[in-house]
Structure 1
Amino acid sequence: MRGADLINLALPDELLDDVLRRVGAGGACKRDLDACALVCRRWRRLERASRRSAKLAASGERADEVLRLVAERFRALVDVSVDERLTVGSGGAGAGTSASASRSRRPVHSTCPSRRRRRMPLVANFTVQISPFPLDQPVGDDGTERSCLTDVGLTHLARGCKGLEKLSLIWCSAISSTGLVRIAENCKNLTSLDLQACYIGDPGLIAIGEGCKLLSNLNLRFVEGTTDDGLIGLVKNCGQSLVSLAVATCVWMTDASLHAVGSHCPNLEILSLESDRIQNEGVISIAKGCRQLKNLKLQCIGAGDEALDAIGLFCSLLESLSLNNFERFTDRSLSSIAKGCKNLTDLVLNDCQLLTDRSLEFIARSCKKLARLKINGCQNMETAALEHIGRWCPGLLELSLIYCPRIQNSAFLEIGRGCSLLRSLYLVDCSRISDDAMCHIAQGCKNLKELSIRRGYEIGDKALISVAENCKLLRELTLQFCERVSDVGLTAVGESCSLQKLNLCGCQLITDSGLTAIARGCPDLVFLDISVLRIIGDMALAEIGEGCPKLKEIALSHCPEVTDVGLGHLIKGCLQLESCQMVYCSQITSAGVATVISSCSKMKKLLVEEWKVSQRTRRRAGPVLSFLCTGL
């Protein structure tokens, strides 16, 4: 009945609270929760009590005050992320992560006759905008120092949200040990703490260890101001609960810290370690003490084969291993890993110069569960390395080869024969790989969903035709600077594969005809990069506008034949467009830019030359605009 409040009269607080929790469950749109909060005072009170997460800016004139208001109004928060790279301003936060409404929104009023129409108090909505300021010294537009979140704001959060379980402080340069001590004193349920690029001292870390006995995840990447004593003090008190630890480029860290981690963290499963000061002894301590390790990422120039020998000997549960920039590791290291880590599924080798084909032979023969393999810049690996993978790893799902100049086509014959489940293939700067290699892959790996080739100068239409004929599930295709690819191959793909993402940057033989085939055959396309295609014109954009209504991102920089007319046809059909890059398009004018801004209501980022933006357009959509830095 009109004018009657059937919901509020019938539902007790417990049931209405359950409804609101279900509205916010599963990453639902934040707008739904905001709308609920604006119905009436009761709904606002219950919605605030049910809000569990918030993503906030750490920069602004009232950063501490904002956090105080959040802590007072949303006392049930368990997950808070504060990021100094964000500023209070325009732009959207992720769905379900920020707490709620802008000033322009009119409140929804209850139809309950006992309540008069009134203006609802604002629920704090922290929409965010990427900050252009240097992160090590925040400054304002006028060159003066810009205020940021301090220990005062963190103290408000600690005292207001004592049930906090996850706290992320990214680049919060004004936070010190004092703020962390307040968190440790009040938030006893804290399980996850991210201090990336914060400047804190030993007392803060020690206090966290003493007060937060449930801490399981800790990120200390780029953390300055502390010493070994801080980490040692932390793990001595809460090391038993620690499951994940990340430390990167912290000049203070030595083997003493790792010895403490190995001694006090028996349940550690995930470790990311990047340090120039770590030697074999530190990694060996980790291997002996942390035998539950499943995910290990190492970048320790001072360590050698002895370190990985210990990992292979003691860490039999290891599933993911990433080795980066090692100058002292040899085939002996991977031999040890292969012998001891039979459950290995993910292997990343970046710039490990001394590794040869023998390394992958050891892995392939022993680690039959290998599913993802990435080799980057290991120049001593040749064709035989991949042949071993093809013969012994039938469960391979992803293969990435970056700057592997010695690997030839025959390697892919074995991959095609033996790895029929392959779903993703990435090839960058592999100069000896040609159409024959792609034909082997296409004929044997019919489940391929993602193919990315960059600077594949020997790959052309023959490869694309084979992919189109055999890989009907292909959804993402990247062909950056594959200069032999033409409309013939692209047309075959458009007729056979329903792509969602396509990158043709630098494929200069592509014309309007090839893009027309894509537009007519791929209606689900959401991403398109046609930058540096110098002979495409307005016809291609008109076809894309008509055939790809779901398109969200497009890059068409360095396209001299595209004009405002083609741009108009594009945006007429692509109403979902959120991102557009169009620098160095000589025939696109300020009128075209204004048309894009006025027609694309969902636009979040437009990259264009600054001189093409009129003052009216700038006033209308300033936060959306990004300009090319031509003064560098």
Structure 2
Amino acid sequence: MRGADLINLLLPDEILDEVLRRVAVSGAKRDLDACALVCSRWRRHDRATRRSAKLAASGARADEVLRLVAERFPALVEVSVDERISVEAAAAGPSCAAARSRRRPMYDVSPSGRRRRMSRSSNFGAHMSPFPLDQPGSDNETERTCLTDVGLTSLARGCKGLEKLSLACYIGDPGLIAIGEGCKLLRNLNLRFVEGTSDEGLIGLIKNCGQSLVSLGVATCAWMTDASLHAVGSHCPNLEFLSLESDHIKNEGVVSVAKGCRLLKTLKLQCMGAGDEALDAIGLFCSFLESLSLNNFEKFTDRSLSSIAKGCKNLTDLILNDCHLLTDRSLEFVARSCKKLARLKINGCQNMETAALEHIGRWCPGLLELSLIYCPRIRDSAFLEVGRGCSLLRSLYLVDCSRISDDALCYIAQGCKNLTELSIRRGYEIGDKALISFAENCKSLRELTLQFCERVSDAGLTAIAEGCPLRKLNLCGCQLITDNGLTAIARGCPDLVYLDISVLRSIGDMALAEIGEGCSQLKDIALSHCPEVTDVGLGHLVRGCLPLQSCQMVYCRRVSSTGIATIVSGCPKLKKLLVEEWKLQETNEFFAPAYPLLPSYATVFLLLLEIPYPLQPKNIKLKHL
């Protein structure tokens, strides 16, 4: 019966609350917003049950936004406050901007108009959309860091049940102390670019809610010293996750954390002032440690990892970035003691040689992921041991490992037949022999990256197409690949969703036609620096790849504004387009008679508003030439 509200008459509050909860769990924020606009009752229930919000920290009304959010959404348990989001831009939102564009030209929308509409919004400030700020030096420079301790204090007083808080903004000590006093249930705290505070603020917060903290991350906060870590060690006995980036932290602070936080499971450290003494304490007191990441350490030696290996038998993840004093002995200690090791990443540890990886192959049969980045001393023989001992290996990443050739990868292919992801970048000694071996042995391979592997040709790619049903393929810079190789991929890998063929100078329209015909599930394609690709090839591509969401085609000299229009009009789900600015301007001129009053580049945006999944201006990147 028209006009009758049968749903609200029959739907009890408990069922409505469950409906809104399930919508929130699904992760579709716009669906939850739509529910809040059904009627006053649904809006009240949404305000009473909304659990997460992303808020603006930039703009003249940032404090007011936090105050109103705290008043209207008291059930919030997860809040992110980000300086990169401005109040004015977030209040407008992409969907609102699109609707306004249909009614009148874009040049008629003024900042004051946005502010008036924002003040009438029923969901004022809740879960802001991440619009970028003005660039430094613009007229709005003075508004970029307008959130103060007043706004954060309002949030602390209104959201007593807050459990997760992420701050990336300029605030002071009173704001952090207020959070500690008002949010006793806080479990996760992440501070990034919080430069207005000091040790006093963090200590005040920890003293009040340290007992409930389970996760703490502090990065790009130059003020942090050992004093804060002493407080963490004294008041956070239940801490399980800790991430620290600071140049002022010494051994004493890390030792305090190790002694007081003995339940630590994940530890990420970038503390150039700490050394062996700090990691000795971690190994001695943190026996539950499962994941350890050490970044840019200049003072600790093999002694440190020896202590970790002896005390942390449950270690499953180890990341070593730019730890220049470590040698093969370090990984020998870890491999012999930490039999549960599943993920290992070594980046820029130039003193590690072949023996280091041989120890891993002999003693770590449960290894699932291996990443080697700029390890110039590791040779092929190390992979013989990995292939023999690590049959469960699923992912292998090799970047700038200059002494690794086809033989090393053949050892992996023959021994690690469960491999699903292979990524090689700048593997100048790797060619078709390795790919043929993977095609014959690794039938589960789904993701393949071969960036600037200049010896790979159509023969290896054809073998992969016949043996491995790939979903993601990156061939950027593989100069020997031609249309024949991509034709084999298009016919052998129909489930492909990602393809990067940038810097392939021999690729032409025939390859794009085959991809359009054979890869109907393709969502992302990059074909920049492909001089033989033309508008004709793009036409064949879009006719078959309707799900296409992202396209990058910079420096394709034979692609004109007509090709860009073909992509835009032929891909209804397109969200990201990377092109040169002058080509976009030519496209605008093509459609100019229909929109004579619009500024440059706006015509394309308006045209896209008629697409079911409209491309927003923030997602179009212009390449200045």
| Bucket of the pairwise TM-score, normalised by the shorter protein | 0.7 to 0.9
Q: 1:574 to 1:138 in 2, by over 3 A?
A: farther
Greater shift, 15-24 or 453-462, is seen at 15-24
* Code of the aligned partner of 1:399: L
SS at match of 2:513: helix
Equivalent-residue separation in structure 2 for 1:266 and 1:273 (angstroms): 17
Equivalent in the alignment of 1:168: none
**Gaps spanning 5+ residues in structure 1: where?**
94-98, 107-120, 149-172
* Code of the aligned partner of 2:230: H
The 5 A counterparts of 1:520-559 are 520-559=491-530
C-alpha distance after superposition, 1:18-43 (max 9, x if no partner): 3343344333x445445545555555
1:560 to 510, 513, 531: 531
Equivalent in the alignment of 1:166: none
2:319 to 348, 352, 366: 348
Equivalent in the alignment of 1:620: 604
Q: CA deviation at 1:179?
A: 2.1
Equivalent-residue separation in structure 1 for 2:583 and 2:302 (angstroms): 56
Equivalent-residue separation in structure 1 for 2:396 and 2:495 (angstroms): 21
Q: Does 1:441 align with 2:412?
A: yes
Q: Which has the higher helix share?
A: 2
Normalised by the size of structure 2, how large is the TM-score?
0.86
Q: Does 1:203 align with 2:163?
A: no
Normalised by the size of structure 1, how large is the TM-score?
0.85
Q: CA deviation at 1:2?
A: 8.1
Equivalent-residue separation in structure 2 for 1:402 and 1:15 (angstroms): 53
Equivalent-residue separation in structure 2 for 1:244 and 1:19 (angstroms): 30
Equivalent-residue separation in structure 1 for 2:81 and 2:199 (angstroms): 26
Q: CA deviation at 1:495?
A: 1.4
* Code of the aligned partner of 2:82: D
Equivalent-residue separation in structure 2 for 1:38 and 1:253 (angstroms): 44
Q: CA deviation at 1:602?
A: 1.7
Q: 1:315 to 1:46 in 2, by over 3 A?
A: closer
* Code of the aligned partner of 1:53: S
SS at match of 1:539: helix
Q: CA deviation at 1:214?
A: 1.8
Q: 1:535 to 1:449 in 2, by over 3 A?
A: same
1:88 to 84, 90, 114: 90
Checking the alignment, whether the CA contact within 8 Å between 2:63 and 2:147 is kept in structure 1 is no
1:299 to 256, 261, 270: 270
Checking the alignment, whether the CA contact within 8 Å between 1:504 and 1:529 is kept in structure 2 is yes
Q: CA deviation at 1:180?
A: 2.2
Q: CA deviation at 1:293?
A: 1.2
Equivalent-residue separation in structure 2 for 1:178 and 1:38 (angstroms): 30
Equivalent in the alignment of 1:227: 198
Checking the alignment, whether the CA contact within 8 Å between 1:101 and 1:123 is kept in structure 2 is no
Checking the alignment, whether the CA contact within 8 Å between 1:61 and 1:146 is kept in structure 2 is no
C-alpha distance after superposition, 1:585-624 (max 9, x if no partner): 0000011112212222222211111000132464222444
Q: Does 1:285 align with 2:284?
A: no
* Code of the aligned partner of 1:490: L
SS at match of 2:26: helix
Equivalent-residue separation in structure 2 for 1:602 and 1:305 (angstroms): 53
Equivalent-residue separation in structure 2 for 1:64 and 1:178 (angstroms): 6
Q: 1:564 to 1:68 in 2, by over 3 A?
A: farther
**Gaps spanning 5+ residues in structure 2: where?**
104-119, 592-600, 606-616
Equivalent in the alignment of 2:19: 19
* Identical amino acids, percent of aligned pairs: 77
The 5 A counterparts of 1:152-551 are 173-196=145-168, 198-551=169-522
Equivalent-residue separation in structure 2 for 1:535 and 1:330 (angstroms): 49
Checking the alignment, whether the CA contact within 8 Å between 2:362 and 2:385 is kept in structure 1 is yes
Equivalent in the alignment of 1:155: none
* Code of the aligned partner of 1:26: S
Equivalent in the alignment of 2:107: none
Q: 1:72 to 1:294 in 2, by over 3 A?
A: closer
* Code of the aligned partner of 2:249: I
Checking the alignment, whether the CA contact within 8 Å between 1:90 and 1:129 is kept in structure 2 is no
Q: 1:563 to 1:146 in 2, by over 3 A?
A: farther
* Code of the aligned partner of 2:52: S
Equivalent-residue separation in structure 1 for 2:184 and 2:62 (angstroms): 29
Q: CA deviation at 1:521?
A: 1.6
C-alpha distance after superposition, 1:309-328 (max 9, x if no partner): 11111111111111111111
Checking the alignment, whether the CA contact within 8 Å between 2:505 and 2:532 is kept in structure 1 is yes
Greater shift, 560-569 or 80-89, is seen at 80-89
